[in-house]
C-alpha cells in the first residue's frame, strides 16, 4: 500500500510537471526557442492566486482565472518585447535573453512580494479526499484535481492541435515557418497564441504546485521549471504527448527514489535517468525523427 | 470586355532590387503577367529566379522598385497577406507539411478561404490529381517525390489563386513524372489559371509557356514569345544545350 501511495504521489507531481512541460514543448516546437522564464511565470501565477485569496477576497475559481489572465498577458508581453525582436538572431542570444527574463521576473517578485515565504492557502482547491481500499490508501483532493486537470488539458490540447484551424496552423508553423506564411498563416500571431496558451497553463500549474507544496517565494518556479524542462526533453521536446509521458515518468521516478532510495539523491537520480534516456534515444522517448525526402 | 481584361495586367513588376545582406541578388528587373497567360522565367542556377518569386510572394522585401498585383501596389506586403489577395506560391523543394496527412495539407492550402469552400475546392483538386485522393489519409512525408509535387501544387490550388506561381516544379523528378507535371500545368492553363513558372528545365518551360523572360545574374537578358525563344540560337546554346 505504501508503494501504491507513493505511486499516486508521483502521478500527482508528474501531472504538475507535465502541465509545465507543455509550455516548454509548445513554445520550443513553434517558436524554436527555450523559454527559460517559463518557470517564473508559474511563480507569478501562484502569487496572483495568493493575492486573490488573501488580499482581494476572491472566490477560488476567480483566483485561478485571475492568475491565468495575468500570466497570459505576461507571457504574450514577454514574447512581444523580449523575444520577437530577436526572431532573426542566433539561438544563443535568445537563450541568454530568456535566462535574463527569468531573473528579471524573480527580482520583480522580490520587489513586489518580498523575500519572506508566503504560505499558500491550501484550501484554494476544495475537493474531498478519497479513501480507497477500506481506508488503506488515502488520496488527497488536490491530487485528484491535479491528475484530472492534467487529463482535461491533454485531451483539450490534442483536440485543439488536431482538429481546429488555429491548432493546425500551429503545427504548420512548427514544421515550416516559410511554408506556413505561404498558406496565409500569420506566424507572429501564431507564436503569440502559443505563449498565451503555455502561460495560462503555467498559472494552473502554479496554483496546483503551491496547493500541494504550500511555500511560495520568488524562486518557487525555478526548480519545478527546470524539472519540467527536463521532462519535456525526456519525452521528446516539441511533442505534446511526449510532455505528458515525460512529466508523469519524471514525477513517479522522483517520488519513488525519494521513498525507496534516498531523499537527498532523488534529484540526482532523476537527471541520471534523463542522461541515460538521451544516450539511447537522443530525440527523447516520443521525439520525432524526421527523415527528409528529396 | 475581354479586350479590356487582356490589356489589364494581373502582375506588374517594375525595376525591383533585392538584396541578401550585402549581396545584390536582383538588379532591377521588370516584367508583367496578363490574365490567362503562362509566363516562364528561365535561366541558370543562381540567376535569381526563385528570389524573384519569393519577393513577389512577400517572403522577401525589395529594397526599391514596385510590385502591382490586380492593379494594387503590393510592394512589401507580407506573404501571409498576399495569399488573401489571391496569390499562391508553390515553393522550390515543395515544402509540404511532412508530418501532416495529405488531406490536412490541402486544408491548410485553403487557410485563406472560408471553411464552407474547402470541400468543393478539395473535390476540384482530387479531380485534377486522383492520386492524392487515394493517398488522402496518408502522412505526406511518406509520399513519393512526384506525389509530393502534386500535393504541393494541389495545396497551392486550394486557395483558388488568381495567380499561381510554380518554382521548379520538375526539380528532382524522373523524366516521366516531369512530363506528367507539365501536362497538368497545360491542363491548368486550359482551365484558365494564370501561371508564373520558374524552371531550370528551359525546354519544358518554353514548350508550355506563352511568353518567357530569360534571367541572367539578377537582370533580364531576353524576353519574348516562348515559341520564338525556343528557336532562338542564343537561348538554344545557353539553356537548351544544343
pTM recorded for the entire structure: 0.89
List of chain B residues whose C-beta atoms are within 8 Å of the C-beta of residue A294:
145, 172
pLDDT band (50, 70, 90) for residue B142: very high
Q: How far apart are CA A275 and CA A286, in angstroms?
A: 16
Query: A182 CB near a chain B CB, below 8 Å?
Result: yes
pLDDT at B5 over 60: no
Residues in chain A, pLDDT under 50: 291-294
Question: Are B100 and A183 an interchain contact pair (Cβ–Cβ within 8 Å)?
Answer: no
Question: Are A294 and B145 an interchain contact pair (Cβ–Cβ within 8 Å)?
Answer: yes
Q: How far A185 CA sits from the closest chain B CA (Å)? A: 5
Q: Find out whether A21 and A232 touch, Cβ atoms under 8 Å.
A: yes
Q: How far apart are CA A95 and CA A28, in angstroms?
A: 11
Q: Find out whether B121 and B169 touch, Cβ atoms under 8 Å.
A: no
- Residue A134's pLDDT is 76
- Residue A125's pLDDT is 79
List of chain B residues whose C-beta atoms are within 8 Å of the C-beta of residue A181:
58-59, 78-80
Taking residues B80-98, report their average pLDDT. 95
List of chain A residues whose C-beta atoms are within 8 Å of the C-beta of residue B148:
293
Which among B32, B73, B35, B12 has a CA at the least distance from the CA of B163? B35
Q: What DSSP designation does A17 have?
A: H
Detail the DSSP E strand segments found in B34-151: 38-43, 64-69, 72-73, 87-90
Query: A165 CB near a chain B CB, below 8 Å?
Result: yes
Q: Which of B108, B144, B161 to mutate to test the interface with A (most CBs of A within 10 A)?
A: B108
pLDDT band (50, 70, 90) for residue B11: very high
List of chain A residues whose C-beta atoms are within 8 Å of the C-beta of residue B80:
181, 183-187
Question: Are A183 and B112 an interchain contact pair (Cβ–Cβ within 8 Å)?
Answer: yes
Q: How far A172 CA sits from the closest chain B CA (Å)? A: 7
Enter the ipTM: 0.91
Contacts for A279 with CB less than 8 Å, ≥ 6 apart: none
Q: Which position has the higher pLDDT, B7 or A249? A: A249
Beta bridge partners of B11: B33, B69
CB-count burial class (<10 Å; 0-12, 13-18, 19+) for B2:
exposed
Question: Are A169 and B112 an interchain contact pair (Cβ–Cβ within 8 Å)?
Answer: no
**Cell numbers given for A9:** 504521489
Q: How far A93 CA sits from the closest chain B CA (Å)? A: 20
The average confidence (pLDDT) of chain B is 92
- Residue B74's pLDDT is 97
Query: A289 CB near a chain B CB, below 8 Å?
Result: no
Burial per residue of A27-40, b for 16 or more beta-carbon CB atoms within 10 angstroms, e otherwise: bbbbbebbbbbbbb
pLDDT at B182 over 90: yes
Contacts for A44 with CB less than 8 Å, ≥ 6 apart: A70, A71, A74, A105, A109, A203, A206, A221
Q: How far apart are CA A194 and CA B148, in angstroms?
A: 29
Domain boundaries of chain A, sorted by first residue: 2-114+139-280
**Cell numbers given for A159:** 483536440
CB-count burial class (<10 Å; 0-12, 13-18, 19+) for B221:
middle
- Residue B1's pLDDT is 40
- Residue A291's pLDDT is 47
Query: A168 CB near a chain B CB, below 8 Å?
Result: yes
Contacts for B225 with CB less than 8 Å, ≥ 6 apart: B210, B211, B212
Name the closest residue on chain B to residue A175, using Cα atoms: B97
- Residue A293's pLDDT is 41
CA angle, residues B133, B197, B231, in degrees to nearest 5: 125
Question: Are B159 and A184 an interchain contact pair (Cβ–Cβ within 8 Å)?
Answer: yes
pLDDT by residue (tens digit) across A166-177?
A: 999 999 999 999
Alpha-carbon torsion (A246, A252, A258, A260), positive or negative: negative
- Residue B7's pLDDT is 53
Q: Which of B51, B56, B80, B142 to mutate to test the interface with A (most CBs of A within 10 A)?
A: B80
CA of residue A248 relative to chain centroid, distance: 12
CA angle, residues B165, B25, B151, in degrees to nearest 5: 25
Which among A70, A55, A54, A69 has a CA at the least distance from the CA of A124? A54
Q: How far apart are CA A163 and CA A174, in angstroms?
A: 16
β B38-43/B194-199 pair status: parallel
Q: Which of B57, B93, B98 to mutate to test the interface with A (most CBs of A within 10 A)?
A: B98
Name the closest residue on chain A to residue B99, using Cα atoms: A175
- Residue A294's pLDDT is 39
Taking residues B60-78, report their average pLDDT. 96
Local structure of B214: helix, strand or coil: strand
Question: Are A290 and B79 an interchain contact pair (Cβ–Cβ within 8 Å)?
Answer: no
* Range name among B57-61, B136-140, B235-239 with the lowest pLDDT average: B235-239
Record: fold of A2-114+139-280 = ABC transporter involved in vitamin B12 uptake, BtuC (1.10.3470)
Q: Which residues of B touch A (CB under 8 A)?
A: 57-59, 78-81, 83-84, 88-89, 91, 95-100, 104, 107-109, 111-112, 115, 141, 143, 145, 148, 155, 159, 172
Detail the DSSP E strand segments found in B104-239: 163-167, 194-199, 211-216, 219-225
Local structure of A183: helix, strand or coil: coil
pLDDT band (50, 70, 90) for residue B2: very low
pLDDT band (50, 70, 90) for residue B4: very low
Q: How far apart are CA B203 and CA B231, in angstroms?
A: 10
Amino acid at each position: 500500500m505504501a508503494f501504491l501511495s507513493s505511486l499516486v504521489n508521483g502521478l500527482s507531481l508528474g501531472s504538475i510537471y507535465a502541465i509545465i512541460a507543455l509550455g516548454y514543448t509548445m513554445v520550443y516546437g513553434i517558436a524554436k526557442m527555450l523559454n527559460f522564464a517559463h518557470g517564473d511565470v508559474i511563480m507569478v501565477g501562484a502569487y496572483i492566486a495568493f493575492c486573490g485569496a488573501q488580499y482581494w477576497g476572491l472566490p477560488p475559481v476567480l483566483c485561478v482565472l485571475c492568475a491565468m489572465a495575468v500570466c497570459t498577458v505576461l507571457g504574450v508581453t514577454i514574447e512581444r518585447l523580449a523575444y520577437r525582436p530577436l526572431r532573426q538572431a542566433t539561438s544563443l542570444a535568445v537563450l541568454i535573453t530568456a535566462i535574463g527574463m527569468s531573473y528579471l521576473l524573480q527580482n520583480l517578485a522580490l520587489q513586489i512580494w518580498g523575500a519572506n515565504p508566503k504560505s499558500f492557502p491550501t484550501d484554494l482547491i476544495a475537493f474531498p479526499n478519497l479513501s480507497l481500499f477500506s481506508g488503506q490508501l488515502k488520496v488527497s483532493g488536490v491530487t485528484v484535481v491535479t491528475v484530472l486537470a492534467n487529463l482535461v488539458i491533454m485531451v483539450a490540447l490534442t483536440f485543439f492541435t488536431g482538429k481546429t484551424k488555429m491548432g493546425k496552423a500551429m503545427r504548420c508553423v512548427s514544421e515550416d515557418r516559410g511554408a506556413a506564411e505561404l498558406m496565409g498563416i500569420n506566424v507572429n500571431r501564431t507564436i503569440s497564441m502559443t505563449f498565451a496558451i503555455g502561460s495560462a497553463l503555467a498559472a494552473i500549474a502554479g496554483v496546483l504546485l503551491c496547493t500541494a507544496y504550500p511555500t511560495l517565494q520568488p524562486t518557487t518556479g525555478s526548480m519545478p521549471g527546470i524539472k519540467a524542462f527536463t521532462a519535456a526533453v525526456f519525452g521528446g521536446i516539441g511533442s505534446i504527448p511526449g510532455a505528458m509521458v515525460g512529466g508523469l515518468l519524471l514525477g513517479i521516478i522522483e517520488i519513488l527514489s525519494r521513498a525507496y532510495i534516498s531523499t537527498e539523491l532523488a534529484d540526482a537520480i532523476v537527471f541520471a535517468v534523463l542522461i541515460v534516456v538521451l544516450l539511447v534515444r537522443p530525440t527523447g522517448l516520443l521525439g520525432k525523427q524526421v527523415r527528409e525526402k528529396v | 470586355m475581354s479586350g479590356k481584361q487582356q490589356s489589364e495586367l494581373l502582375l506588374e513588376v517594375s525595376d525591383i532590387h533585392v538584396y541578401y545582406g550585402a549581396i545584390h541578388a536582383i538588379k532591377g528587373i521588370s516584367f508583367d503577367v496578363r490574365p490567362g497567360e503562362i509566363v516562364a522565367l528561365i535561366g541558370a542556377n543562381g540567376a535569381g529566379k526563385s528570389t524573384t518569386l519569393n519577393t513577389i510572394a512577400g517572403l522577401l522585401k525589395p529594397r526599391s522598385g514596385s510590385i502591382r498585383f490586380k492593379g494594387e501596389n503590393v510592394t512589401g506586403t507580407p506573404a501571409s497577406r498576399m495569399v488573401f489577395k489571391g496569390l499562391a506560391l508553390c515553393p522550390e523543394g515543395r515544402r509540404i507539411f511532412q508530418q501532416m496527412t495529405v488531406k490536412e495539407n490541402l486544408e491548410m492550402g485553403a487557410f485563406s478561404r472560408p471553411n464552407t469552400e474547402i470541400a468543393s475546392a478539395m473535390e476540384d483538386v482530387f479531380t485534377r490529381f486522383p492520386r492524392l485522393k487515394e493517398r488522402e489519409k496518408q502522412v505526406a512525408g511518406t509520399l513519393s517525390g512526384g506525389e509530393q509535387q502534386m500535393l504541393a501544387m494541389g495545396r497551392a490550388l486550394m486557395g483558388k489563386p488568381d495567380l499561381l506561381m510554380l518554382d521548379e516544379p520538375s526539380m528532382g523528378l524522373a523524366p516521366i513524372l516531369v512530363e506528367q507535371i507539365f501536362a497538368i500545368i497545360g491542363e491548368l492553363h486550359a482551365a484558365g489559371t494564370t501561371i508564373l513558372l520558374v524552371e531550370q528545365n528551359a525546354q519544358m518551360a518554353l514548350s508550355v509557356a506563352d511568353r518567357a523572360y530569360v534571367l541572367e545574374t539578377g537582370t533580364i537578358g531576353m524576353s519574348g514569345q516562348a515559341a520564338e525563344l525556343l528557336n532562338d540560337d542564343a537561348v538554344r546554346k545557353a539553356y537548351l544545350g544544343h
